[in-house]
Amino acid sequence: MRILILGAGGIGGYFGGRLASSGVDVQFLVRPSRAEVLARNGLVIKSPLGDLRMPVRTMTAATEPVDAVLLACKAYDLTEAMEAVAPAIGPSTLILPLLNGVRQLDLLDARFGRKHVLGGLCHIGATVNPAGEILHLNTLQRFVFGPRMPDQTDAAERLFTAVRPGGFEPVLSPAITQEMWEKFTFLATYAGMTTLMRAPIGAIMTAQEGEAIMREMLDECLATAAAGGYRPREEAMAQMISSLTERGSAGTASMFRDMARNGRTEHEHVIGDMLARARTAGVPAPLLRLSLANMQAYEAQRSATAAG
């Protein structure tokens, strides 16, 4: 299969690089500045699981349909990304979004048609340093996708066969929407609390009311997920609680790290969308409300500073 990857940052660059190094037919759709760096230095991954440096094929504009498009952009870039990949979407092209949250599914369905859009998610700690190198921050590299409707099953299985050589053990899930909601529930809590408290999980747990407030935020997200028909399964619940209440943990959400470097964040797509769904369902969500206001105030200040 011919696979086009939008973006060569932490997610797209990491998984795309692993696929390319395994001989999978991969091409990266990137901005001209990123294309120049990749042409000069190759794609560089520094990882506890093995470093990689190799030349990769890039393009700055899509020109013809491919078999699959992997979207690995930030949520706030999705509108621009959809326009960029539109020429690559043919009658049988699969679109695999690896964005946080779930709102992207509705947006992609409206733009390209539901039959094209698979569900997908990843769990990985990765970033790009000033030299353009991808830094894999731990050994986590979970890559999960699957069909959202029965008619997509055969095509999803073909894509799974194509990406299996990548070395990161992809998972083809028969319940991908449930899995996406489980990640969304966890992430809204994780990002909401670490940005609100300006601290990692371990530090929050040292506060007198830290664990209680963390659990209250999680309860708001759980109630919202349940109202939408996607209450997390027991195993997922146990993992969430363990991660969100781990004593001594240095863990922070990528939203917190974006905030720490005064960067743009996905707060509307994650925290804002969860709050909107809570309101629609009539679920009280005072901590989500506070967390979103915190991030909106941050964004207003960041934008004003940048403009000045």
In terms of Cα–Cα distance, which of 126, 129, 109, 254 is closest to 195?
Answer: 254
Following DSSP, what letter does each residue of 184-250 receive, concatenated? HHHHHHHHHHHHHHTS-HHHHHHSTTHHHHHHHHHHHHHHHHHHTT-PPPHHHHHHHHHHHT-TT--
> Token digits for 243?
């991660």
Q: How confident is the prediction along the chain (308 residues), in pLDDT tens digits per residue?
A: 999 999 999 999 999 999 999 999 999 999 999 999 999 999 999 999 999 999 999 999 999 999 999 999 999 999 999 999 999 999 999 999 999 999 999 999 999 999 999 999 999 989 899 999 999 989 999 999 999 999 999 999 999 999 999 999 999 999 999 999 999 999 999 999 999 999 999 999 999 999 999 999 999 999 999 999 999 999 999 999 999 999 999 999 989 999 999 999 999 999 999 999 999 999 999 999 999 999 999 999 999 988 87
**Catalytic pick among 46, 74, 115, 183:** 183
Q: Which residues contact 44 (CB under 8 A, 6 or more apart)?
A: 51, 52, 53, 131, 132, 133, 134
Q: Are 180 and 244 in contact (CB under 8 A)?
A: no
Cβ atoms within 10 Å of 200's Cβ, excluding its own: 17
Are the C-beta atoms of residues 67 and 5 closer than 8 Å to each other? no
User: Which among 248, 239, 202, 199 is positioned nearest to 218, based on CA atoms?
Assistant: 239
φ and ψ of 87, to 5 deg? -65, -15
Neighbour count for residue 183 (Cβ, 10 Å): 21
Do the beta carbons of residue 122 and residue 6 sit within 8 Å? no
**Known catalytic residue at 74:** no
